[in-house]
Amino acid sequence: MLSERRLEVLRAIVQDYVGTEEPVGSKALTERHKLGVSPATVRNDMAVLEDEGFIAQPHTSAGRIPTDKGYRLFVDRLAGVKPLSAPERRAIQNFLDSAVDLDDVVGRTVRLLAQLTRQVAVVQYPSLTRSTVRHVELLSLAPARLMLVLITDTGRVEQRMIDCPVPFGDTSLADLRARLNARVVGRRFSDVPLLVQELPESFDLEDRGTVTTVLATLLETLVEETEERLMIGGTANLTRFGHDFPLTIRPVLEALEEQVVLLRLLGEAEDSGMTVRIGHENAHEGLNSTSVVAVGYGSGDEAVAKLGVVGPTRMDYPGTMGAVRAVARYVGQILAES
């Protein structure tokens, strides 16, 4: 077990390193922090911290930098979540309030997060599986061509074209639309398959084929679009990464382009509470020198999607966590209102 002072030393190292981006030595530490002990003592503490794997030296006779394990301890035990200032909170609310539709909400959220944290922001669109159906619309575009439009309670809209096996009458269409809505409106997407199972049987034989096709498309949409969408922003902040640039930035940019990777990344975050993944804790190799701070957000108690930021392991964790939490909270509010 590490003594209180050693933890304090670790905290000081993390804070200084995050600020200066340079290995921090014992002397500088005692000058900048009121540790109440001499550099020599700090050196001893540092030696212990290094033995335990919390800090490391880039080379002999250089200062120490925190390891992933060191950041982990810092986040878990030494750092709180720094709340945003009142003006910041007001700015967030104002900015998000003027969003006109879901795309706009997500877009603004991304920009906001990127700006607040000065890192790369990732925002997932509200998930379909956890959303509920607000409305299903069927439009006849041509005699044997329908368009299916799915509207979620979070404002997301999905559409699909359907080619019918045989022309479908307007009354049948209205009928199907009404029955479909009666069954699924207000229900969760994940429940829809069961709810519409027996629908075709209640139709005339001649329409049954079309109804089946429509339902098949509906279910297919649910499955396909469960493959979620997301938006990223603030990639320009990657340039503040460090000196050894090209080497680190490349795999990160590549990872950011792979929606699948990002979705898995957010997916790994816990549903409630904030998740921080530091360096090698990230499964994806390209992100081994980054940390991910993610949190779920939603219109009610339950998270409908996640958002977060990706930045260098050397990041301001309390500040980042504060910003991420605050933004998630406000986005949730906006969604609940709409």
Partner DNA sequence: GCCTGGCACTCGATGCGTAGGAGTGCCAGC
Partner DNA sequence: GCTGGCACTCCTACGCATCGAGTGCCAGGC
Residues of this chain that interact with DNA (CB under 7 A) are 5, 23-28, 36-41, 43-44, 46-47, 50, 57, 59-64
DSSP string, 74-101: IIIII----PPPHHHHHHHHHHHHT--S
- Cα gap 328→323, rounded to integer Å: 8
Site string for its own copies, 140-159 (x = CB under 8 A): -x-----x-x-x---x-x-x
Q: Footprint of its own copies on residues 120-139 (CB under 8 A)?
A: 134-135, 137, 139
Cα angle 216, 221, 225; round to 5: 155
Three-state SS annotation for 96-163: HHCCCCHHHHHHHHHHHHHHHHCCEEEEECCCCCCCEEEEEEEEEEECCEEEEEEEECCCCEEEEEEE
Determine contact, residues 255/230, Cβ cutoff 8 Å: no
Site string for its own copies, 154-183 (x = CB under 8 A): -x-x-xxx----------------------
What would the two tokens of residue 163 be?
């080619």
Told to check if 238 binds its own copies by CB under 8 A, we report yes
User: For DNA, which is the closer residue by CB, 9 or 266?
Assistant: 9
319 binds, among its own copies, DNA, none (CB under 5 to 8 A by kind): none
User: For DNA, which is the closer residue by CB, 24 or 123?
Assistant: 24
Write the CB contacts of 200 (distance below 8 Å, at least 6 apart in sequence).
208, 211, 212, 215
User: For its own copies, which is the closer residue by CB, 103 or 268?
Assistant: 103
100 binds, among DNA, its own copies, none (CB under 5 to 8 A by kind): its own copies
Told to check if 100 binds its own copies by CB under 8 A, we report yes
* Phi then psi dihedrals of residue 260, to 5 deg: -60, -45
Site string for its own copies, 253-292 (x = CB under 8 A): xx-xx-----------------------------------
**Interface contacts to its own copies, rule CB under 8 A:** 100-101, 103, 134-135, 137, 139, 141, 147, 149, 151, 155, 157, 159-161, 224, 229, 233-236, 238-239, 245-246, 249-250, 253-254, 256-257, 338
